[in-house]
Amino acid sequence: MRIIRTTLLLSFLFMLVLGCSKPQTPEVKNFSKPHTLRPFSMNESVTPDLAGGKESHVRKPEPLTLAELRAKYSSTFLLHGPPAPKRIALTFDDVPDDYFTPLILDTLKQLHVKATFFVVGNRAESHPDIVRRMINEGHIIGNHSYSHANLPKIVDSAFRDEVLRTEDIIKKITGKTMLFIRPPYGNVSEDQIKWIASKHMKIINWNVDSLDWKGLSADQVKANIMSNISSGAIVLQHGAGGVGEDLTGTIEALPSMVAELRAQNIELVTIPELLHKPAYR
Ligand SMILES: [Zn+2]
């Protein structure tokens, strides 16, 4: 029994040694050999071209993300000001309407706060008196497009029209040519940034979002702002509603929020003050 077991073990070991020392097959050797190619030339009459165009033409590289665009165009595309001195800027978008905007202006007046309003051109056309009131009360205005279009989704000519038409309307109402623009939804393409830069305008987005467009309570609006605030912050709020939008929380949050910021020795300033840049041409 013992002899049989030993013989079997020895045969197994012998086979194993044979297997390991087996020479490599010629196919494996050939595989590592470099192929010799004919010189590059395409006979187009034999190989039909791609009907939809070359891959490199049709499959354009993915556009940069907003974060990458901000980094690439940091002198044109801004989200906040310098961290010192201790200052922040309140901004109100989508203005004017004839209900919420006057209430916000009343509240800011009582609090002695100057803010920055981003106006929608077609709303400014409907309420020019409220735009004039903003300027007369020391606030700053910037361009928020003519119809609140999602700019990267529209063609070049329509994009320029959105900006220039609003510029003309505001020039007629106030005599001023705005140098700040906030793209609706914060969305803008690389080509649009280049065009805005060529006009010496600045894109002003934000780094603190109140999310007030969700119809939040005053406490929720205030918590969203105060929990994210830091010196140099640009705060996004809304100063006019669309159909069914309620900005009561935005207005009611202002007095206690401003008091709290001032208790922390944080000054409330406009965008041109925060950034040390001119607001108008
Ligand atoms: Zn907007």
Cα(200) to centroid(ligand 1), Å: 22
Cα(242) to centroid(ligand 1), Å: 10
Residue of 35, 80, 93, 161 marked catalytic: 93
% of the chain beyond a pLDDT of 90: 76
Q: Find the helix or strand (DSSP H, E) in which 210 lies.
A: none
The answer to whether 184 and 148 are in contact (CB under 8 A) is yes
What was the pLDDT predicted at 146? 98
What was the pLDDT predicted at 38? 63
What is the rounded CA–CA span in Å between residue 259 and residue 270? 17
Cα(248) to centroid(ligand 1), Å: 17
pLDDT over 70 at 18, yes or no = no
Over residues 167-188, mean pLDDT: 98
Please state at what angle helix 100-111 crosses helix 248-263, rounded to 10 degrees. 20
Cα(187) to centroid(ligand 1), Å: 10
With tokens 């033409």, the residue in question is 57
Residue of 129, 209, 238, 276 marked catalytic: 238
Rg of the chain, C-alpha, whole Å: 32
Active-site annotation holds for 238 = yes
Over residues 139-167, mean pLDDT: 97
Over residues 21-48, mean pLDDT: 55
Q: What is the CATH number of domain 82-275?
A: 3.20.20.370
pLDDT over 50 at 258, yes or no = yes
Does this model's pTM top 0.85? My answer is no
Cα(107) to centroid(ligand 1), Å: 21
Cα(41) to centroid(ligand 1), Å: 55
Over residues 13-26, mean pLDDT: 41
Closest CA to 275 of 93, 112, 88, 138: 88
What was the pLDDT predicted at 20? 39
% of the chain beyond a pLDDT of 70: 82
Over residues 10-19, mean pLDDT: 42
What was the pLDDT predicted at 51? 79
Burial 175-189 (b: 16+ CB within 10 A, else e): ebebbbbbbbebebb
Over residues 110-115, mean pLDDT: 98
For the chain, give every domain's residue range.
82-275
Give the angle 75-81-86 at the CA atoms, nearest 5°. 160
Over residues 227-253, mean pLDDT: 95
What was the pLDDT predicted at 27? 46
Confidence of residue 56 (pLDDT cuts 50, 70, 90): low
User: Of 23 and 188, which is predicted with more confidence?
Assistant: 188
Beta bridge partners of 280: 178
